[in-house]
Chain A
Amino acid sequence: MTYRIDPATDRQYIEEFRRQPIGHHSPGLARLLTVMRQDPTGRQVILVCRRPFREWVLGEMPARREDPVAIEDGPVFTSREEAEWEVFRRRWQKLTGEAINLPYRE
């Protein structure tokens, strides 16, 4: 069996990710992200850039190549890191049932 996320063990990595969503991560956070970034449904969360280096929203590629990409109207992000945090929060809730009620930056 592959690694299953355990909130009690993995909660410690939330803050590490929030501090630096893209970068050199600890082995524990890297393992957590490896699990979170795999979706057996075949769907794929993507970052849609509306204005280069200024404005992003989230989207989702469907499992079937023939189906269209779904693009969210909002939230609108002003950095890629902010979007990473939002996706992390969503995935954590989906995988653990727990909500992370923390903004990307205070």
Chain B
Amino acid sequence: MLKILGYPDRYSVAPGEQIAFKVSLEEGTHFDARIVRVIHGDANPAGPGLKFRHVPSAADGRHAGKPQRVDAGSYMAVENAPALAAKAFTFFAMIWPTLPERRDQTLLAQWDAEARSGLRILVDEGRLALVIGDGRGVARIDGGKRMLTRQWYSVAVAIDPAARRATLGQNPVGQYAQVDDRIEIELPLEIAPAAARVPLLIAGCPQEDGTIGGHFDGKIDAPMLCEGLRAADLHRTLLEAGPGSNAPKFIARWDFSREIETTRAIDMGPLKLHGELKQLPARAMKGWNWTGEEHDWQRKPGHYGAIHFHHDDVYDAGWETSVALTIPEDMPSGPYALHATCGESGPEATRESYIAFFVRPPRLSKPRGRRPGVAVLAPTCSYLAYANHAEHITARGAELQMGRLLTFGHIDLYMYDHPELGGSLYDRHRDGSGVAYTSRLRPNLNCAPAYHSWLGGHGSALYQYNADTHLFDWLDHKGVDYDLITDEDLHEDGLDLIRDYGVILTGTHPEYHSTQMWDAMKAWIDRGGRLMYLGANGWYWRIGFHQTLPGVFELRRSEDGIRTWEAEPGEYYHSFNGEYGGLWRRIGRAPNVMAGVGFIAQGFDLSSYYRRAPDADNPRAAFVFEGVTDEIIGDFGLVGGGAAGIELDCINTDLGSPPNMLRLASSEGHTPMIMLVNEEFGVVPPNLGGDLNPRVKADLAFGETPAGGAIFSTSSIAWCGALSHNGYDNNVSRITWNVLQRFLNPKPFPTG
């Protein structure tokens, strides 16, 4: 089991800036740390092995440590709420429970956990319930009938503390034969709830240990509080007709369709009891009254008044800083990690952790010195999209997809035991809804050197970050001077960040891009940039960063593509920025428009090789093959045993590949497990696999751009895993080097 883990407060840090590391220990009271330059994170003995270069710094040495935990679960908090139980009141809400069978799910709480006083309205094993405390005892009543999953209910709870009576109303919006789930019941209360002067919470409740627990899983729409005892059907009347002259005296009337891009929950009532949303519940969710007439929440916000809360939502783990470091002004840009250890590792436990971060070039506003001609764009958005990727834990069928047993290292076992770390954009919440937000303010256990995945091809089994260390290693071996920039840097700085680089190298799987990132990269290419796309399935999903919160972005898996969950119809627009989400291809910007190639196939067992294609003999591509006469390219490699594998791209002019792209080589001989991707067929063909479908291939591609720049695309995630073969002396390494050297030559490429 893993005994030490942590996360940095930022993935990208500039010289002169501070980075803070938050570490948690499962045992012991201290840990030893040092900063290392990450060269090669692949422990596979068939390759160069682990390579780190110690960088002495102020972070070196022994540091105090302790267990730190993640208090997962989203909720809304109102700090200045009046004590509800001071007099009679009624609570209304429309709710859509998604895990009703779970116990103790709070709809509304004003609860003093230490004194055990106040009140809680909840869904408890499917039943609408009320818990009250007077500081001496706790009493509970419930309505006795279970709610159905994923059905809207109008709930009403009227409480008269003086008379010690309460009325529970549970009215389903949908009507079904043979289902008895409606209640309207008045019950006596054994005790009167204390008028607790504590914050009012929705979808969470304070616990005695200081955390917030008792979370609700599901949607809540239009919660209201009224003075006095009100009939259960008043809520729906108010929602449909609006508060008119006969409206009751509102205590609060929250409208979740307002300020959807923010973490504020607006109270339309007289007291302005605005709530603050914690741990990022999902917004821009269809409400109880959504009809399908409008799919864009910005055009009909009144139909998007729901917030979907999950007990396993997490935005910010909020751990204390364990060690911080100010990056020296002369620290070269590149990949680094805090190597933290708390003892010896063995078969039963791993007692070391590499907490990855990147030193970027100086900020644009600072003196930047002379920069290298090459930049590596670390796909940190893709690293975050896959943060704590746990399909091997939750998705039965993953073994079938991999074509081999699912491997669990100590990190995976820790992930199994700690779902509160939060899932990846590939995972579902416990209630089955997709994880649409991912944050870097939490441990990202599979984004680290030395992590070997259950995914990523037989052999080294690397994916994302650690697969990219194959490229870091090759650049180091070749002595290439480069700057490292991250996706988040590109999103924030735009074209200005990359304007002066002649060449940009991608990682192996740069899949997730914001509009700002996409626009900046395309503008750079259109101005003559030379792109070396050293992977596949890039520029695939569109994401949207939160506009005020740092380090978090959103994905809606809408319409099409390889989807491990599907966004609900009507929920295709980002809540963070209002953009239409999903595949870039679905908004007319297929990957081919950017990189000359686009996604065609994927599979995770074995990789294959490329065979030279006729375009390899085109004089325009002569520089690519200088010193390479082989017919077969890349029939070796650490990722699946070949340079063509895992995910593959191909040229397709119909999708936007420039007509001048040369197909230099194409892969062949793929296994049946490498299959055509969903968006490439309408009618499901029986020959999806690479053994029967000729479209399952990676195209090694090159083309000039009108501004004298160029694009070189390997179209395979496994390409970089072949770079180190035979002491870095092989045709994959040679081709990559040839392209880099020519791309660094400022001489414009001929445009015709």
Contact = CB atoms under 8 A, between A and B. Distances in A.
A binds B: yes
Nearest to A55: B347
Interface string B403-441: 111111110010011010000000000100000000000
Contact of B404 (A38, A39, A59, A84): A84
B405 A38 contact: no
B146 interface: no
A80 B404 contact: yes
A52 B461 CA distance: 11
Nearest to A44: B396
A24 B452 contact: no
A37 B399 contact: yes
Contacts of B348: 50
Nearest to B417: A68
Given A37-B400, A61-B416, A69-B408, A50 B347 contact: yes
A23 B606 contact: yes
B458 A22 contact: yes
Interface in A10-38: 21-25, 27, 30, 33-34, 37-38
Nearest to B670: A24
Contacts of A22: 403-404, 458, 605-606
A46 interface: yes
Interface size classification for chain B: 20 to 34
A49 interface: yes
Interface in B36-67: 43-45
B430 A47 contact: no
Contacts of B606: 22-24
B407 A80 contact: yes
Contacts of A24: 606, 671-672, 691
A5 interface: no
- Looking at chain B's contact residues, the main secondary structure is loop
Contacts of A3: none
Nearest to B407: A47
- Looking at chain A's contact residues, the main secondary structure is mixed
B331 interface: no
B406 A47 contact: yes
Interface string A31-74: 00110011100101111111111011001010001001100000
For B397, B403, B419, B458, which residue has the most chain A Cβ atoms within 10 angstroms? B403
Contact of B405 (A39, A55, A84): A84
Contacts of B416: 61, 69
Interface string B176-197: 0000000000000000000000
A51 B345 CA distance: 9
Interface string B366-402: 0000000000000000000000000011101101100
Interface in B340-355: 346-348
Contacts of B413: 48, 69
B396 A52 contact: no
A52 B671 contact: no
A45 B405 contact: yes
A49 B407 contact: yes
A66 to B, nearest CB: 10
B393 A61 contact: yes
Interface string A67-98: 01100000000001001100100000000000
B430 A65 contact: yes
A44 B672 contact: no
A61 B399 CA distance: 12
B431 to A, nearest CB: 12
Given A23-B671, A24-B606, A69-B413, A53 B408 contact: no
Contacts of B399: 37, 44-45
A24 B692 CA distance: 13
Contacts of B44: 53
A94 B88 CA distance: 64
Given A50-B348, A52-B43, A61-B393, A44 B430 contact: no
A34 B400 contact: yes
B400 A53 contact: no
A23 B642 CA distance: 12
A87 B407 CA distance: 13
Contacts of A56: 407
A55 B348 CA distance: 11
Contacts of B450: 52
Contacts of B458: 22-23, 80
A53 B45 CA distance: 7
10 contacts: A25-B672, A27-B672, A44-B396, A46-B392, A46-B405, A47-B408, A48-B408, A48-B413, A52-B409, A53-B44
Interface of B: 43-45, 346-348, 392-394, 396-397, 399-400, 403-410, 413, 416-417, 419, 430, 450, 452, 458, 605-606, 671-672, 691
Given A24-B671, A68-B417, 17 more contacts: A22-B403, A24-B691, A33-B403, A38-B400, A45-B399, A46-B392, A46-B408, A49-B407, A49-B410, A50-B347, A53-B44, A53-B45, A59-B408, A61-B416, A69-B408, A69-B416, A80-B407
